[in-house]
Amino acid sequence: MKKIFPAFHFFLFYFLLSQILVGQNQIVDSLLAALPKAIADTERITILGQLSEECYFDDILKYSHKILELAQKNKAVNAVSSKRIFLREKARAYNNIGVYYFTSSKILDALDYYQKGVLVLEKDSIDFELQNSLYNNIAAIEMQIQEY
């Protein structure tokens, strides 16, 4: 009976892992399918933002840099709602790049991107949840390097 129990856990772990990966693939696939159909740049940048958080770790930089390019292209947008979308997604891209570098043990690079994200959000108080996340990420790095 004792040998069945660990085998069951092993099976359950791999079953759940495969379900998570399949679910992630479906989300990414649907976002990738929606991207070429997006007409407005605000829709395109929002889809890229979702992709940058749902994609595999190795693709974070690819989608985040596309967000930054699209935000740069549309930096002169006058409509307030569109401008807020571009700024929020730009900050999210900086946060995701920071997470990528932090996970890759490039802590000072991560800190730089987190601070860039905070600067984007502090101007207009666009997304307090993202802003708090960036502050928490900065605090975690400062604690790690003991620079309080």
- Local confidence pLDDT in tens for the 148 residues of the chain: 444 444 444 444 444 444 444 455 788 888 888 888 889 888 999 999 999 888 888 899 999 999 999 999 988 888 888 889 999 999 999 999 999 999 999 999 999 999 999 999 987 777 889 999 999 999 999 988 887 6
Instruction: Give the number of residues written for the chain.
Output: 148
Closest CA to 91 of 57, 40, 49, 138: 49
The per-residue pLDDT for 24 is 57
Give the pLDDT of residue 148: 65
3-state SS of 39-81 is CCHHHHHHHHHHHHHHCCHHHHHHHHHHHHHHHHHCCCCCCHH
